[in-house]
Chains A and B, each alone.
Chain A
Amino acid sequence: MSRARFLFWLDVLLLLAVALLQEPRRTSLAGHEWLGVGFAVVLALHLLVNWRWIVMTLARVRAGESRRARVNASLNATLFVLMAVTVFSGLVVSEIVLPLTGLVPSGLSAWRQIHGFVSGLVLVVVGLHVALNWDWIAGVVRTGALWRPRRGATVPFSPELLSGDGGRDA
């Protein structure tokens, strides 16, 4: 259960970050950019801890098992591409983080337009991603173990979470 709890709170963190990142005027440009960098790291963690599920889904698609597996994989692949484009376009026009590396932000307006448009689209696709995983989310919440760590429960995060074979169902 501790693994599910870790995955759940990691997902909640990502969702809140996605919502916060839509408001750069509120967080300030510096806050927005650093939050974006942190978001990219947590997103990579999210993908690593769900690696087995991703591999299994891709295997089901390759085997032509079901239409549902294809739809799910397409939706998650779309979300991955949109997230990558959003973070990348944000970095390309970054005025705080990018100059720290000695690089100059691009002056092309297209990057800002892409960043604004795709980040808006991300919000909708995140909603569809939540819909896709709704049964898992509801299952974790229903157990009531999210806020009550069990006595003797294992540490929620361990290196095995990244390299192990545990999936969302673990």
Chain B
Amino acid sequence: MKGTESEPQPGRRSALAGAATTVRRLAILAGATLAVCLVTWVLVDATASAKARRRREQAWAKPDWSGMTMHVGGQLLVVVVAAAAGRKVLRLRL
């Protein structure tokens, strides 16, 4: 019986290891994202000075669902065209 109370069960141990792996991967992901954000921030801070003229809050205050399907379809069409070009012209494959 020695150690049975302090040592986790195999299933629980596996779940803990899985959680630790997920946390580690999330930390790597957060680190990479943070690095990209930091570089962007430094570049913008060093080069930009012009102020925005107006806020968008008033202009886009309410949703306008008219023609939504068409507009979203148009965006998806851009993706489809880029995918077809990537497939046929650039010959992208896994």
- The proximity string for A residues 158-170 relative to B, scoring 1 for CB distances below 8 Å and 0 otherwise, is 0110111000000
- The proximity string for A residues 20-36 relative to B, scoring 1 for CB distances below 8 Å and 0 otherwise, is 10111111110110000
For A155, the chain B residues whose CB sits under 8 A away are none
Question: Complex: how many Å from CA A135 to CA B92?
Answer: 10
Question: Complex: how many Å from CA A136 to CA B41?
Answer: 36
Complex contact A128–B49 (CB within 8 A): no
With an 8 A cutoff between CB atoms, is A68 at the interface? yes
Question: Complex: how many Å from CA A23 to CA B72?
Answer: 7
Complex contact A127–B37 (CB within 8 A): no
With an 8 A cutoff between CB atoms, is B87 at the interface? yes
For A48, the chain B residues whose CB sits under 8 A away are 22, 25-26, 29
Which residues of chain B from 40 to 81 have a CB within 8 Å of any chain A CB?
A: 40-41, 44, 47-53, 55-57, 59-65, 67-68, 71-72, 75-76, 78-81
> Taking A127-B86, A130-B83 as contacts, is the C-beta distance between A109 and B50 under 8 angstroms?
yes
Question: Complex: how many Å from CA A135 to CA B93?
Answer: 8
Complex contact B18–A163 (CB within 8 A): yes
Complex contact A19–B75 (CB within 8 A): yes
Of A26, A80, A114, the residue contacting B32 (CB under 8 A) is A80
For A68, the chain B residues whose CB sits under 8 A away are 93
Question: Complex: how many Å from CA A19 to CA B69?
Answer: 10
Of A107, A114, A124, A159, the residue contacting B82 (CB under 8 A) is A124
Which residues of chain B from 1 to 57 have a CB within 8 Å of any chain A CB?
A: 15, 17-22, 25-26, 29, 32-33, 36-37, 40-41, 44, 47-53, 55-57
With an 8 A cutoff between CB atoms, is A140 at the interface? no
Of B21, B59, B83, B92, the residue contacting A163 (CB under 8 A) is B21
For A26, the chain B residues whose CB sits under 8 A away are 63-65, 67-68, 71
> Taking A128-B86, A132-B93, A160-B18 as contacts, is the C-beta distance between A108 and B48 under 8 angstroms?
yes
For A89, the chain B residues whose CB sits under 8 A away are 40
Complex contact A25–B18 (CB within 8 A): no
Interface pairs A-B: 8 shortest CB-CB: A127-B82, A131-B86, A110-B48, A163-B18, A163-B21, A19-B75, A29-B60, A28-B63
